[in-house]
Structure 1
Amino acid sequence: MVLKLFRLIFVLLGSLPKKKNLVIFESFHAKQYSDSPRAIYEYMKKHYPDFRLIWSVDKQAAPLFDGFGVPYIRRFTLRWFLEFPRAKYWVNNVRLPSWMPKPADTVYVQTWHGTPLKKLGTDIEEIHMPGTDTASYKLNFVLEANKWDYLVSPNAYSTEIFTRAFEYGGKVIESGYPRNDVLSTPSETLSSSIKRDLGIPVEKKVMLYAPTWRDDDYFEKGKYRFEFQFDLERWKREFGEEWVLLSRMHYLVAENFDFSAHAGTVYDVSTYPDIRELYLISDLLITDYSSVFFDFAVLNRPIVFFMYDLENYRDQLRGFYIDIENEAPGPIVQTEADLFAAINALKDSDVRSNPKFKAFRNRFSSLEDGHAAQRVVEAFLE
């Protein structure tokens, strides 16, 4: 009944004249100030002072936005209902609640949140997530995509997949990802500042571990499990003198990890506001099936793929769009011993001399030139 009431109010207010210079932003279900919506917001704040730029924020995330000094309205409050349905522009990077209709005169810009490796939307053959089934999941995806007026794509490869997997027939802005603009011209001053804020000694090298979630390993709907598959004590003995390890769990993982035994060596950065800043300070990335490696590659730094459950993930859970075993821009390993060996082999290397890495960059990152946010904004304001 509450959702029906919300929908009714939303429809009624959405039928009123639009606030033509109002842009409302959300990132990851209104819980983050991050990703391409943040990059677009910051670009518009600098170059389009006549626009009102406001964030829609989950109540639990309000302190985060207070800290950044960013203007926001709390989701589902009276003020939110008076503003959101009447905004001329929405900018988001994930799906909105299914009860929320898009008014006819609203321009909905969907940035999405990654170049796809694992299958998406209607391309997934069977859903293993709690609280839904395959048919419902696919239908909800298609219904959401029908609301979008613009879809941001980082490259031609993604455009082909997005339009098919989302059954999307609207306008595509093939621009590169706005969130990656900062990676195309990394700043040493900014990197030093980020390390200082995290308490990382400036002389230490940084290794970022950023795995994804597993659809079939969960506590309940929306709360997924994750277990480390390498020993942190051994990692510390092997690399701790020269390196620190940043642990960045996917936002869907509900685990709270206790790294107190490894203080000063292992840092939990799962709730750090923006992963782009973690990329900037990281000298090497460890990941698995997460799309983070597409972005990190922009920096021309080493990547190791720790795919300990490759066969199950590839053949049962999701499946891949590319032949990852032949096209990955770094070694794929499945055991702790091989992981540590790969790190040692890559940690001082220049990946730009690797033909496979160069081919990967040319295919997926050719548009990442620092001007993606500009291209996106100019496209949806035309």
Structure 2
Amino acid sequence: MVKKLKKMNLVKWVSRSLLSLLAMLPVRKKLVLFESFSGKQYSCNPRAIYEHMVAENPDFDLIWSVNKRNVKHFEENDVPYVKRLSFKWFLIMARAKYWVSNSRMPNWVKKPNHTIYLQTWHGTPLKKLVADMEEVKMPGVNKDEYIRNFHKEVAQWDYLISPNHYSTEIFKRAFDFKNKLLETGYPRNDALVNHNHAAAIKKIKEKFSIPESKKVILYAPTWRDHHNSGPGDYHFDLQLDLKQLQASLGQEYMVLLRLHSFISKKLVLDVDKSFAIDVSNYYDINELYLISDLLITDYSSVFFDYAILKRPILFFTYDLEEYRDDIRGFYFSLETEAPGPLVKTTSDLIKEIQSLKNPINSYEAFRKKFLSLEDGYASKRVVNEVFNMKGE
């Protein structure tokens, strides 16, 4: 173990030194490096900003940082990329004028002085974050160390995007963020406003061979900090009884299961693919939102985004007391403010689905508080602020 730790620290030192050395090279003022969930996806706010810039800012050189195991989608769709942690990646990281990411960089990464770091983050928080957390139950780190490392990374962020004023106040405090905060709405949600129409939905459904006669349930739960086999190795214990769901709803519905990107172990489903599909590796959840007739989630921030569509949301909160009181803690009462009912069993979920009511005129207070900026133009606002800078 000691040898492993020494080797790990040596690798970090060499990597940090290489990045610092290459940063002495001339800056490329129109080069932008994008990354989503540590290079695992082509998704979220970085994707929305990238696609806006491709269309509106063709003079920029745009490239993605991608984990070597996740290059397939980028290659198939001609999205320019560099393999994360390759020598070329270090060279681009060091010379790029801009970084755009929705999650933390490795803790050994030191941003060059000439680089502008746009941190988009990836959700409106229900769960307590960083300095607001009473306990840290992630493996391999204690609370003080976790907060210290996180705040060290945050000090490098030049810009941080916030989807609403509620999040702004939390981000400033929990992240200890002191630079330019952009309260613009989330760029990734532009698609939920601009592509919420029959033609786009039909095209996406065809990708998954979903019959037109079937309604779609999207199940998108969050991860559990304490369900792990070590650092970076989280698992998910599926409590949703798919066989029971199929017996009751199989004629009318099919289910798409989307696990959090932290989950490393693939689900083994005990029902036929004609009823349930694991879409955890699909590159962008926005398309899954668009084709879904209802969302089942728990404590994930996905419900804030999905509420833009004004479709039913059900909360499968079988471990509510444990998660809220012992694992993470919440910023508000889910029981009183959630835009949908909370249930604890598959049987109760089925009853709620069978008696669904149109929520279009419901939860207006929720939408006013959290979604007032989601008008389809967040990407434009962010790009105009960060990239059309005086003197550039």
TM-score category, normalised to shorter length: over 0.9
Partners of 1:44 and 1:55 in 2: CA distance = 13
Alignment of 1:95-114 (within 5 A): 95-114=104-123
Alignment of 1:1-382 (within 5 A): 1-185=10-194, 186-259=196-269, 261-346=271-356, 349-354=357-362, 357-381=363-387, 382=389
2:242·2:271 contact (CA, 8 Å) conserved in 1? no
Task: Specify every segment of 5 or more residues in structure 1 that has no aligned partner in the other structure, as ranges.
Answer: none
- The alpha-carbon deviation at position 262 of structure 1 amounts to 1.8
1:196·1:202 contact (CA, 8 Å) conserved in 2? no
Partners of 2:271 and 2:300 in 1: CA distance = 27
Other structure's SS at 2:271 match: helix
- The alpha-carbon deviation at position 17 of structure 1 amounts to 2.6
Other structure's SS at 2:296 match: strand
Which letter maps to 2:52?
Y
Identity of aligned residues (%): 52
1:31·1:61 contact (CA, 8 Å) conserved in 2? yes
- The alpha-carbon deviation at position 64 of structure 1 amounts to 2.1
Which letter maps to 1:351?
P
Partners of 1:25 and 1:45 in 2: CA distance = 13
Which letter maps to 1:53?
L
Partners of 1:263 and 1:61 in 2: CA distance = 24
Instruction: Identify which range, 164-173 or 328-337, moves more after superposition.
Output: 328-337
Partners of 2:24 and 2:151 in 1: CA distance = 24
Deviations 1:70-95 (A, max 9, x none): 00111122221221111000000000
- The alpha-carbon deviation at position 197 of structure 1 amounts to 0.8
1:122·1:141 contact (CA, 8 Å) conserved in 2? no
Which letter maps to 1:70?
V
Cα RMSD (Å): 1.0
Task: Specify every segment of 5 or more residues in structure 2 that has no aligned partner in the other structure, as ranges.
Answer: 1-9
Aligned length: 378
Instruction: Identify which range, 318-327 or 255-264, moves more after superposition.
Output: 255-264
Partners of 1:373 and 1:269 in 2: CA distance = 26
Other structure's SS at 1:353 match: coil
1:58·1:74 contact (CA, 8 Å) conserved in 2? yes
Partners of 1:240 and 1:129 in 2: CA distance = 37
Other structure's SS at 2:381 match: helix
Partners of 1:338 and 1:59 in 2: CA distance = 42
